[in-house]
Amino acid sequence: MHDDRRITEVRLGRFVRERINPAVYTRSVPLTLSSWEAPGEPVAVMEALRHDFLPQEHGAAWGRPWGTKWLRLQGDVPEAWGTAPDTTVEIVVDLGFINEAPGFQCEGIAWRPDGTIIKAISPRNQYIPLKLLGSGIAVDFYVEAAANPDMAQGWTFAATPLGDKATAGTAPQYRLGTIAIAELNRTVWELQQDVWTLSGLMHELPVEQPRRHEILRALERMMEQMDPDDVPGTAAAGRAALAEVLSRPAYASAHQLVATGHAHIDSAWLWPVRETIRKCARTFSNVVSLMDEDPDFVFSCSSAQQFAWMKEFYPELFGRIREKVKAGQFVPVGGMWVESDTNMPGGEAMARQFVEGKNFFLQEFGVECREAWLPDSFGYSAALPQIVRSAGSRWFLTQKISWNQVNRMPHHTFNWEGIDGTRLFTHFPPVDTYNAELTGRELAHAERNFRDHGRANTSLVPFGYGDGGGGPTREMLAAAHRTADLEGSPKVRIGSAESFFTQAEEGYAALPVWVGEMYLELHRGTYTSQANTKRGNRRSEHLLREAELWCTTAAVRSSFAYPGAELKRLWRLVLLHQFHDILPGSSIAWVHQDAERNYAAISAGLEAIIGQAAAALLGEGSRTFLLNAAPHARNGVPALGAAEPAIEGQSVQATGAGGGFVLDNGIIRAVVDSDGLLTSLTDYATGREAIAPGSRGNLLELHRDTPNEWDAWDIDEFYRRNVTALTDVQDVRLEHVGNSAVVVVQRIAGSSPVTQRITLDVGSDSLAITTAIEWQESEKLLKLGFPLDVKADRSAAETQFGHVFRPTHNNTSWEAAKFEICAHRWIHVAEPGYGVAISNSATYGHDVTRNVREADGGTTTSVRLSLLRAPKFPDPAADRGHHELTVTIRPGAGIADAVEEGYRTNLAPRLVRGGRGVEPLFTVDNPALVVEAVKLAEDGSGDVVVRLYESLGQRSAGAIKAGFPVQGVQATDLLERPVDAPGVTPAEQGSVSLALRPFQLVTLRFAR
């Protein structure tokens, strides 16, 4: 037989495009339009409706960037429309949409005159059923149209002023399209879905497979039996021609896909937070409207913050969501406040994501999420399995690792083992997207791509347009129903994430194991971009620690009223800003401007709270007390207590040497040369030189930073090939500040003035370097490096509740890909018997390399911190301006010293005047057991909750004792519910004996 396959396929494409698609709506009539444009920021619906609406021309240009235009749509449905059995009446609203990028353009939401939401208007969801407007044939409703500019610009990553309202301009962004009453032919629409599903499946089947040709011939018969001049009249015959091939059941061994509705909405990104709130309302209104039509539809929705916004700003919609949650259709997932970054949030912040998220879902809906849901975050900390399990959850989902540049993960379903040995059942959807449309191509890819065939046969498909694109559509649901049991296709079942995990867990007993972090081989620049946002986060985390500690101490020791509601509000604001496009620095300027203002308000609020608690604790007086919130003693003041600091011993000796200076406090000795570089650093305890022979530390290096794409996100490896060492100096001088000696160094980094203050304090084990810079560079990366005389095969970098080791060599492609790594407050490199710790005040990006010296055969291990970047997209002015970053270097340091140094650098001494000292609420007899948080219980009982962890990565034993009357002690999970905790044994009089495994996390509840 002659092969006319291609001819028939082309014919089909044109038939669909020119005959079927236009016939879905058989007739239409324009509506009468009037409008009002909000002069500034968006307003509430009832305020908008009070304004005068003026006549609005169809097809007119509209929408200054970030503006809002309110449209009033009025008209009457023509007589007899929608009375035929297969027809219905809808309103079609095209705000000027483009077909591409549904979440990155204008959006709308329809409102009834009484101020209740109807549903959203989206690029691929432009209809409103007439029945949703109420009874009768009169049409009268409103559309709130948001002129969000197209920041994506085709993903060219070109710099644009549109991300800052001050520079976005006023030029209209869109032009109104068709806005009309239309009659929908249901049979034609169903035919359209039949053809779309079969055609998509056909193109994914091998040409040599009979099933492909059977589908083609059925589609050919459909075209033959239909009249192209009367598609509505012959659509039923067309459907009949396809019925047989649509009814063929799937293969018994077909892959099983659990399809769950989804609409990943970034809590801020290429739009500000205020627009995210409206995006959520638009999408969620679409979702509940679809649920009314299809009771089988299930939607998975993460981020308690987004539900909280609905409760606050859209209470009527929130009530509808609550009903759908009760019905099991609108399913909260993830159990986190937001889908946060997991690389940079501190341990307690990461825990609070689950505490706040899960408690919100429990309190509002009576639902406990059992899965962590992070499809889009930029890599996953090795501490996460323990945190997830400690929150009472058991599963984890992500898709982002499929973006790896070099290495492909070997599994899609596996056990993920964290730093403490905790294992977490984990799934990567092999469809490789969290915004699936359930196309034939996507379903076939999920089946072909699944890496666990023969051992498992089920995977998850999250489907729906995200980021304001409107979520799932009725077309997607039609595809899901048609592929439920269809020959040649995987079997698709609509369901919840929990139903998937339960099924997958039961069907895959001998799980493979992945140990350690899941490093994303992409987006490494997010450890550094938008340094002010990162500094605000780090400072806020530590202020919250202090505030909770001193408020708890004051509540126990005095009549001080614990400000639980205000602390919760501030915590939630910090957690919001840990979202995976805010803290990583990958959002527009508007987002980061908001973040900096919020961090300033958080700081002011927490300082006031700390001041009030300190006043209650210390009373009136003129004595100076050091409030030591650190988990280690400092200046003679015990951990977690307040006392007068010990008088310092000998002063620092500072002498000139060869144009440079020698700083010596009897503990360490540092030599700074005439270029302001560190040529020697020794500690008296070991006598070892930390700086590698012939090398100099405190070296600033300026790199060209022009990634191939994803500017704010990425650092590409080739940045290393273009570097300028900043050795030229303008001034080097010595100053004395109190008992400290300070070498001040001034130089220029490109066009940016730099002032460094190299400080050695009395009694300090470390040398501090504060770099102040007026950063004016573009597409540059500034590194600060220390070449160390240490043969380190691996580095240790702090992560949540512990640290993670990474090789310093590049034996494999997996190791080579980690050319930029994340560390929290410290990084440590060592050989047996000797190590060096480097701490920081607000820096996360690092690189560690090694080289064998020709001269003496020794190994130089170089540690560099990424201080600043200057990407141009999405914020063309990112990071420009003043920055101040502190780094310390501690020679002769072990891991315990690194842990202490990290806290010391980030918890500055707090000196307060008062009349009396304060005994610590808790004492711990082993410094390896680090207290991370002290707070009052979430339930308002007044019980005291302590969170601590084993910090050294070894088995550690000790005891924690309460310094106040205690009725009993109970180990709990993160949500403060009783659990059995291995190695935790309550003893007499408020004491608990601890024998903890490496990095074990423990939460204890002390009943007062």
Please identify every residue annotated as catalytic.
376
What separation in angstroms does the CA of 340 have from each of 255, 346, 353, 380, 897? 32, 12, 8, 10, 30
Q: Do 70 and 37 meet the contact criterion of CB atoms below 8 Å apart?
A: yes
Instruction: Please say whether the dihedral angle defined by the alpha carbons of residues 541, 546, 549 and 550, taken in this order, is positive or negative.
Output: negative
For 361, which DSSP code?
A: H
Nearest CA-CA partner of 578 in 589, 567, 588, 591: 591
Phi, psi (deg, nearest 5) at residue 273: -60, -40
Name the residue type at position 484.
A
How far apart are the C-alpha atoms of 468 and 854, rounded to whole Å? 58
How far apart are the C-alpha atoms of 180 and 27, rounded to whole Å? 10
Alpha carbon 56 to its chain's center: 41
Instruction: Please say whether the dihedral angle defined by the alpha carbons of residues 289, 295, 299 and 304, taken in this order, is positive or negative.
Output: positive
How far apart are the C-alpha atoms of 284 and 267, rounded to whole Å? 14
Q: What share of the chain is helix, strand, coil (3-state, %, to 5)?
A: 30, 30, 40
Q: Do 289 and 492 meet the contact criterion of CB atoms below 8 Å apart?
A: no
**What are residue 566's DSSP bridge partners?**
none
DSSP 202-254: HHHS-TTSHHHHHHHHHHHHHHHHS-TT-HHHHHHHHHHHHHHHHHPPPPTT-
At residue 275, the 3 state secondary structure works out as helix
∠ CA 655-660-663, rounded to 5°: 40
DSSP 812-831: SHHHHT-SSEE-SSEEEEEE
∠ CA 618-623-626, rounded to 5°: 65
How far apart are the C-alpha atoms of 580 and 602, rounded to whole Å? 20
Name the residue type at position 795.
S
Q: Residue 700 has which token pair?
A: 């600033």
Alpha carbon 137 to its chain's center: 47
How far apart are the C-alpha atoms of 468 and 124, rounded to whole Å? 11
Give kind and range of the element (H or E) at residue 291: helix 273-293
**Who contacts 106 (Cβ-Cβ below 8 Å, separation ≥6)?**
63, 95, 96, 97, 145, 146, 147, 148, 173, 174
Q: Residue 939 has which token pair?
A: 């339930």
How far apart are the C-alpha atoms of 333 and 361, rounded to whole Å? 9
3-state secondary structure 945-994: EEEEEECCCCCEEEEEEECCCCCEEEEECCCCCECCCCCEEECCCCEEEE
Phi, psi (deg, nearest 5) at residue 63: 90, 85
Give kind and range of the element (H or E) at residue 360: helix 347-365
Q: Do 884 and 596 meet the contact criterion of CB atoms below 8 Å apart?
A: no
Rg (the chain; Cα; Å): 31
At residue 417, the 3 state secondary structure works out as strand
